[in-house]
């Protein structure tokens, strides 16, 4: 009898069902959906996937899988553009949280964010009272500027001094206004 040179409609439908529902349907369910008898679906599904019995069907299934792989393949460009579409759609819907999350995901994919996790071993219970007290003093000394607001005050002073420099350079029209602003800044710094 020889091998068929062409796939039948049911064989093609089986191949499509198998590839498009991979992981969601069994081969037997795909055979039934393609029109094979439910009584013989297990046998039909098995035979259709046998390259010796049905080489054209197996080849067609392989071609379909390759096409689907290419279509749904995750590449950097596709991933970034899909996240951009999601971000834009979320922005249009005024779903700001979703838009920000999509943009952050784009940044992570592009390597703009570096996640660091520091795992320290040891327990507080393992330290002696002296070691624990020494560590607490070290932490307080290291972070006291933040706790006392010193860092914030220094940053505020730095920003104000830069603002003054900008004000002086841009307002060269009248010296009286600059004298007034300098006296006000002196008063605010005392």
Domain map of the chain by residue range?
9-72, 76-110, 125-170
Low-confidence winner among 10-14, 19-23, 62-66, 173-177 (lowest mean pLDDT): 173-177
Say how many residues make up the chain: 190
What DSSP designation does 94 have? T
Give dist(CA 53, CA 105) in Å, integer.
47
What are the backbone angles phi and psi of residue 184, rounded to the nearest 5°? -70, -40
| 46 pLDDT tier (thresholds 50, 70, 90) | very high
Q: Average per-residue pLDDT in the chain?
A: 79
Give dist(CA 189, CA 21) in Å, integer.
72
String of DSSP letters for 41-93: HHHHHHHHT-TTT-HHHHHHHHHHHHHHHHHH---HHHHHHHHHHHHHHHHHT
| 54 pLDDT tier (thresholds 50, 70, 90) | very high
What DSSP designation does 23 have? T
| 32 pLDDT tier (thresholds 50, 70, 90) | very high
- How far out from the chain centre does Cα 60 lie? 35
More confident residue, 167 or 111: 111
Q: Is the dihedral of CA 93, 96, 102, 107 positive or negative?
A: positive
| 183 pLDDT tier (thresholds 50, 70, 90) | very low
Domain 9-72 CATH class label: mainly alpha
Question: Model's pTM, two decimal places?
Answer: 0.44
Give dist(CA 47, CA 159) in Å, integer.
77
Write out pLDDT tens, residues 55-109: 999 999 999 999 988 887 777 888 888 888 888 998 999 988 888 888 888 888 8
């Amino acid at each position: 009898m020889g091998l068929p040179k062409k796939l039948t409609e049911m064989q093609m439908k089986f191949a499509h069902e198998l590839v498009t529902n991979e992981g969601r349907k069994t081969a037997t369910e795909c055979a039934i959906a393609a029109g094979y008898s439910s009584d013989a679906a297990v046998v039909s599904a098995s035979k259709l996937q046998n390259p010796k019995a049905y080489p054209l069907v197996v080849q067609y299934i392989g071609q379909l899988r390759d096409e689907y792989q290419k279509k749904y393949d995750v590449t950097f460009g596709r991933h970034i553009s899909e996240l951009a579409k999601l971000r834009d759609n979320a922005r249009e819907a005024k779903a700001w949280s979703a838009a920000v999350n999509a943009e952050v995901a784009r940044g992570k994919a592009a390597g703009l964010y570096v996640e660091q996790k520091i795992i320290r071993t040891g327990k507080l219970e393992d330290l002696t009272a002296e070691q624990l007290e020494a560590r607490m003093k070290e932490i307080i000394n290291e972070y006291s500027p933040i706790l006392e607001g010193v860092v914030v005050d220094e940053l505020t002073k730095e920003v104000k001094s830069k603002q003054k420099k900008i004000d002086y350079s841009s307002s060269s029209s009248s010296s009286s206004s600059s004298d007034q602003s300098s006296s006000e800044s002196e008063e605010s710094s005392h």
